[in-house]
Structure 1
Amino acid sequence: MPQGLILVPIQCDDNMYSEDSVFGAIAELEGAVSDRKLQPFGLRTSKLFKEDIRSRSVTVAGNATQASSTATTHENVLEWVKQDKRRMLHVVYRVGDMDRTIKFYTECLGMKLLRKRDIPEERYTNAFLGYGPEDSHFVIELTYNYGVDKYDIGSGFGHFGIAVEDVSKTVDLIKAKGGKVSREPGPVKGGNTVIAFIEDPDGYKFELLERGPTPEPLCQVMLRVGDLDRAIEFYEKAYGMELLRKKDNPEYKYTIAMLGYGPEDKNAVMELTYNYGVTEYDKGNAYAQIAIGTDDVYKTAEAVKLCGGKVTREPGPLPGINTKITACLDPDGWKTVFVDNIDFLKELE
């Protein structure tokens, strides 16, 4: 070591990247320089050493400030999610015979065919069905891929929910039309709500729930998850949903959580189900995704990433129609597409 060079130790603690601690240490070093402990190297060396110290201090302090600013930005994004105008738009899944499914949904379930479009260059057809206009109701988007007449629903998808005023009458109608009833009308286990389960021609299950008049008859999408608390936290923070209720059923070894953007008697909700001890499910290739409206797909994608979700399509406009979207996966691998609210309304014009 050259004679006369003094090494001044700097005490570091958990706040080592704060501006106060950085500049305090710098002052200590500069004091060592000022009292001529570096004199053997000459004034020019001392001056350069001081300048280098000051430059390094600015860099470190700048990094600390940037980290603090980034944390604040992240907090702002997650807070924005809570204020975003979000609504469940539609659920997308694949069917093997479009005309057969449309006939069943309109005649047996009382839905209306809202629109239909054929995309021959992409070899698929879409049909939108529901109980009211797409700009105000949650609807179904069916997809038929040319030449594919069967899909695997898997074990992860549960059912769709439809609220009806009289479950027994609805079941009788479905039977008369040749529909399959997999659970006869009766009170739900451990409760009083009258329900029944039916299956459409492709094997998708629908739970019929007896309720009074409601503005949103298509009321549930049930998916199974491997960690319910993890899923709830993600849907609350990344998707901005509210936990409406949670119920444990130890007798039947499952727990459910209802999440959505408003009361479940007036809005479509997600029903997430955890079966004791089951952490993974086969998702098949039939069920596709839900679509949710948002005011900003870019902030939405950022929030999803911050909450541990995977963005599978970076935010931006779709080729040809310019509707801005982003697509992502939740921690269980269920897909959601977020659609710009204004662009979505333009599509419907």
Structure 2
Amino acid sequence: MATDPAKYKLNHSMIRVKDPKQSVKFYEFLGMKLINTIKNPDAKFDLYFLAYDSPKAASHANHWTDREGIVELTHNYGTESDPEYKIVNGNTEPYKGFGHLCVSVDNIQAACQRLEDAGYKFQKKLTDGRMRSIAFALDPDGYWVELISQNPVEATENIKETDVETYRMNHTMIRVKDPEKSLKFYQDVMGMKLHRISENKDAKFNLYFLGYGPDAPKQTANGVNPIADREGLLELTWNYGTETDPNFKYHNGNDQPQGFGHICMTVDDLDAACSRFEEKGVNWKKRLTDGRMKNIAFVLDPDNYWIEIVQNEKLKQRSNW
């Protein structure tokens, strides 16, 4: 019974939503396709899985467990008609933790204009602040969706078209208290590679980008972020000083009030992978043998974020999802 972490994938990121119709509409407007729905009427919740799936997409037509860059929307029945219900987006005190999803686009000016024309709001427009190469749109629940460019920003300035079929669900950002502990966990335990580090000493924060798959080039010929065309990356954000504060902790999105739920890794052999995690001494939220659902496990990272572990059905059949 062997497992090879090089075959793992960062399959999806789960967020809870108030009204699935509005949320599905938003992510479909961003070019995603609803590739799977799992309804759980007995437990009164449904799951919606969206991903880029055009012929130009990175994992076009793959089984949903054999992909990266999926967004899972979780809807608990009744929230859509509850005027009091709202999620926490992970960016407000005292509930900071999850930061954003990020979509990389072919033409960032046109992509932003298209969203604005459709009536969607922004946390940060391209023209706001010092950074003129990124924007943050807001989804219907107020989650931040970062937009970055796959091409030099100056090259697309006067082009009005954008092709959503070329978009990528590039990364998911979470804040971490202690980068050494988190980097060790995601590299040694989860088997990810550190593709890129962005140090921002003046602003006192660093960004670490991890993922599976081939090593990323250090730079590209046109100077664009060399991992902008990838899917399934994890961005860890560390604000200097949090690691030495014994009382500091981030909100994992699953404690009340809720919002972000988890990231999910699909693995080559679920039983073998869970045995390996056990040997690595992980903290479990749910072992495979716990509860009724024997096809999923949940590991806790150093900041108590949940990581779902699921079988990649292309590599080994286990479940009839």
User: Normalized against structure 2, the TM-score is what?
Assistant: 0.74
Structure 2 counterpart of 1:246: 197
- Give the corresponding residue for 1:9: none
The partner residue of 2:78 within 147, 150, 153 is: 147
Residue 97 in structure 1 maps to residue 66 in structure 2: no
- C-alpha separation between the residues in 2 aligned to 1:188 and 1:266? 26
Greater fraction of residues in helix: 1
CA distance in 1, matches of 2:313, 2:35: 20
Q: Which runs of 5+ in 2 are unaligned?
A: 54-60, 80-84, 90-94, 152-162, 217-226, 243-247
Unpaired segments of 5 or more residues in structure 1?
Answer: 1-76
Question: Which residue is 1:37 aligned to?
Answer: none
Tell me, yes or no, if structure 1 residue 178 matches structure 2 residue 132. Answer: no
Provide the C-alpha distance between the structure 2 equivalents of 1:161 and 1:111, rounded to a whole number of angstroms: 13
Deviation at 1:306, TM superposition (A): 4.2
- Work out whether 1:301 is the aligned partner of 2:223: no
Alpha carbons 1:234, 1:307 under 8 Å: kept: no
Aligned residue for 1:163?
A: 104
Q: Distance in 1 between matches of 2:251 and 2:309?
A: 24
Provide the rounded CA distance (Å) in 2 between the counterparts of 1:305 and 1:89: 21
Q: How far does residue 247 in structure 1 lie from its aligned partner after superposition?
A: 2.3
Q: Which amino acid aligns with 2:239?
A: N
Query: Bigger relative contact order, structure 1 or 2, given CA contacts below 8 A and separation 6+?
Result: 2
Q: CA 1:177–1:102 in structure 2 vs 1: closer, same or farther (change >3 Å)? A: same
Find the residue that maps to 1:90 and give its secondary structure. Answer: strand
**Post-superposition shift, 1:87?**
0.9
Whether 1:118 aligns to 2:87 is: no
1:23 aligns to what? none
Q: Paired residues, what number? A: 266
Tell me the CA shift for residue 201 of structure 1: 1.0
The one-letter amino acid of 2:71's match is I
User: In 2, distance between residues paired with 1:121 and 1:340?
Assistant: 24
> Which residue of the other structure, out of 205, 220, 243, is the alignment partner of 2:144?
205
Instruction: Report deviation, 1:267.
Output: 3.1
Are 2:237 and 1:273 equivalent residues in the alignment? yes
Q: Alpha carbons of 1:290 and 1:310: their partners in 2 closer, same or farther (altered >3 Å)?
A: same
The answer on whether the counterparts of 2:252 and 2:303 sit within 8 Å (CA) in structure 1 is no
Of 283, 287, 290, the residue aligned with 1:310 is 283
Q: Over residues 184-219 of structure 1, what are the superposed CA-to-partner deviations in whole Å (9 max), with x where a residue is unaligned? A: 2269968xx821111101011011011059977001
Are positions 1:333 and 2:264 aligned together? no
The one-letter code sitting in structure 2 at the alignment partner of 1:129 is L
**CA separation of 1:293/1:280 partners in 2, compared to 1, >3 Å: closer, same or farther?**
same
CA contact (8 A) 1:221 1:271 kept: yes
Query: What is the alpha-carbon distance in structure 1 between the residues aligned to residue 200 and residue 13 of structure 2?
Result: 27
Does the aligned pair in 2 maintain the 1:254–1:274 contact within 8 Å? yes
Structural mapping, 1:49-60, within 5 Å: none
The residue aligned with 2:182 is 231
2: CA distance, partners of 1:252 / 1:217: 28
Q: Which is greater in Rg?
A: 1
Equivalent residue runs for 1:24-103 within 5 Å = 83-103=5-25
Q: 1:348 to 1:112 in 2, by over 3 A?
A: farther
| Post-superposition CA distance 1:273-303 (Å, at most 9, x none) | 1011224222341111111111223333343
Q: What is the identity, as a one-letter code, of the residue corresponding to 1:298?
A: D
TM-score, length basis structure 1: 0.69
**1:234 Cα deviation from its structure 2 partner:** 0.6
The residue that corresponds to 2:157 in the other structure is none
Cα distance change, pair 117–234 in 1 and its aligned pair in 2 (3 A): closer
User: How much has 1:114 moved relative to structure 2?
Assistant: 1.8
Asked if the contact 2:39/2:46 (under 8 Å) is kept, the reply is yes
Letter in 2 for 1:198: A
Across the aligned residues of Structure 1 and Structure 2, the Cα RMSD in angstroms comes to 2.8
Q: Distance in 2 between matches of 1:298 and 1:98?
A: 33
Structure 1 distance, partners of 2:273, 2:317, is 19
Answer yes or no: is the 8 Å Cα contact 1:81–1:237 preserved in 2. no
Cα shift at 1:342: 2.7
Deviations 1:12-61 (A, max 9, x none): xxxxxxxxxxxxxxxxxxxxxxxxxxxxxxxxxxxxxxxxxxxxxxxxxx
> SS at 1:110's partner residue?
coil
Q: Is residue 255–residue 273 contact of structure 1 (8 Å, CA) maintained in 2?
A: yes
Task: Name the SS of the counterpart of 1:273 in structure 2.
Answer: strand
Show the counterpart of 1:61: none
Per the alignment, residue 224 of structure 2 pairs with none
| Distance (whole Å) between structure 2 residues aligned to residue 297 and residue 347 of structure 1 | 11
